[in-house]
Amino acid sequence: MSFWDKVSPVYDILQVVNRRSFRAMAEGVRQVVPEGAKVLECAAGTGILTAAAAEKAESVVCTDLSLPMLEKARKKCADMGFDNVSFEERDIYNMPDKDETYDAVVAGNVLHLLDEPERAVKELARVTKKGGKLILPTFLNADKDFSTSLLKIYRVLGFRSKEYTFDEFRAMLERCNAGRMKITRINGFMPAAFVVIRKG
């Protein structure tokens, strides 16, 4: 059982402390997903950002490596009445889709967890149409006592993350060379970056 399988029942409760950041991330996703878009979401977790993506989209393929997380996302979307979301177990490094399948690809709060974030971004860019959007909101190093203590507790449970600074995260994304990038800061308990890359 992975860390994320174990944490799935309480993930939304633990994220209450980050609600300001999540609100900003969801609002950002809502705004930048184009009307009628075909959307892929990777590492969707319990679906906190899925509903924001589904509002204007024609369809959302909601994916994650953890089945218990996906089950939470499925229930959340059903409770909210979305019938344009489908669910699939998928590894972010390996999408079964043809090149340039989606108008927008969302991967929230996962790149800082991966051993090879650049490989993941390249895979997401591969399945994004030319001119389409990669939407990558990601928690960054908080550098605050309380949130650092919370991370220590997570680590005991098996949580591993890179804890990028804003500049390190931007530099990693620039190395991917996926397109024109807009990156902004989100302030909150855990600060974050909101990233939209327009595929060139």
Ligand X SMILES: C[S@@+](CC[C@H](N)C(=O)[O-])C[C@H]1O[C@@H](n2cnc3c(N)ncnc32)[C@H](O)[C@@H]1O
Q: How far is the CB of 93 from ligand X (least distance, A)?
A: 6
- Which among 85, 94, 89 is positioned nearest to 61, based on CA atoms? 85
Is 162 in contact with 193 (CB distance < 8 Å)?
no
Residue 108 is a binding residue for ligand X (CB under 6 A) = yes
List, in sequence order, the alpha helices (H) in 62-197: 67-79, 117-126, 145-156, 166-176
Is 103 in contact with 132 (CB distance < 8 Å)?
yes
Residue 60 is a binding residue for ligand X (CB under 6 A) = no
CA distance from start to end of the chain: 39
Backbone phi and psi for residue 156, each to the nearest 5 degrees, phi listed first: -60, -35
Separation CA 60–CA 105 (nearest Å): 9
Q: How far is the CB of 64 from ligand X (least distance, A)?
A: 5
**Mask: binding to ligand X, 30-49, rule CB under 6 A, as x and -?**
------------xxxx--xx
Which position among 66, 128, 141, 147 is part of the footprint of ligand X (CB under 6 A)? 66
Instruction: Closer to ligand X by CB, 130 or 184: give it.
Output: 184
- CA 60, 66, 68 angle in degrees (round to 5)? 95
Residue 116 is a binding residue for ligand X (CB under 6 A) = no
Q: Which stretch binds ligand X (CB under 6 A): 65-73, 164-172, 174-182, 184-192?
A: 65-73
Instruction: Closer to ligand X by CB, 78 or 131: give it.
Output: 78
Q: How far is the CB of 99 from ligand X (least distance, A)?
A: 19
Residue 132 is a binding residue for ligand X (CB under 6 A) = no
Q: How far is the CB of 106 from ligand X (least distance, A)?
A: 8
Q: How far is the CB of 124 from ligand X (least distance, A)?
A: 11
Residue 140 is a binding residue for ligand X (CB under 6 A) = no
Element (H or E) spanning 130, and its range? strand 128-135
Residue 164 is a binding residue for ligand X (CB under 6 A) = no
- Which among 134, 140, 189 is positioned nearest to 16, based on CA atoms? 189
Which position among 61, 113, 142, 173 is part of the footprint of ligand X (CB under 6 A)? 113
